[in-house]
Amino acid sequence: MGIEEKVKERQLKATNIFIASFIAGLNEMGLLNQANVLWASRRAGRSLSECARIRGFVDQAPADVYEKAKFFLEKLVEMLDLAVRKEIKLEGNILSIKIYKNTCKFCPKGVGGAQLEGTLCPYPGMMHEYLKKLLEGQATVEMVTHERAPMVQDNEGCHIAFKIIPA
């Protein structure tokens, strides 16, 4: 699929193409893999939690800690416009997000063209740290991993999940 089709299908802006291609370029040089993207993206998560505070999301959040976590994640997805089709769910103490296939706007493989076997997704680390910071003192947030991988991919798309444990 060429860039023109991707731009239409995923409603991409130049920013999306720049970031996804930049991450893909660092991977091509051997500098990035999923483990260190996970680390680096935590810093972005911390900064974005500050952004959420500045925008007043902390004051607008529901009182219930689970609903609060869901609200914060929805706001993050909204702020960054991460994907065309996504679904955020709260089932018990598990907060999850599904990003439907071919709709992610920052995918280093799908948008940036990275050639690799695994993933290079900046979302799990960013979301984890963002939620941890915003829920500090109210809940601990654990990333749900699968054989150490922070996300699962299937025919429908990418799945990222967090366990919310009230303090």
Distance between CA 163 and CA 91 in Å, rounded? 10
Q: Summarize the chain as % helix, strand, coil (round to 5).
A: 45, 20, 35
Query: What's the closest the beta carbon of residue 49 comes to another protein, in angstroms?
Result: 21
Part in contact with another protein (CB under 8 A); list of ranges 33-41, 76-84, 97-105, 134-142: 33-41
Binding mask 13-32 for another protein (x = CB under 8 A): ----------------xxxx
167: its two tokens: 């303090």
**Ramachandran sector of residue 56 (left: φ over 0; alpha: ψ -120 to 50; beta: rest):** left
Among 4, 117, 137, 154, binds another protein (CB under 8 A): 117
What Cα–Cα distance (Å) separates residue 55 from each residue in 16, 47, 64, 67? 22, 13, 20, 18
Our finding on whether 41 is near another protein (CB under 8 A) is no
Among 3, 9, 22, 36, binds another protein (CB under 8 A): 36
Rg value, the chain, Cα: 16
Binding mask 128-167 for another protein (x = CB under 8 A): -------------------xxx------------------
Which residues sit at the interface with another protein, rule CB under 8 A? 29-36, 38-39, 116-119, 147-149
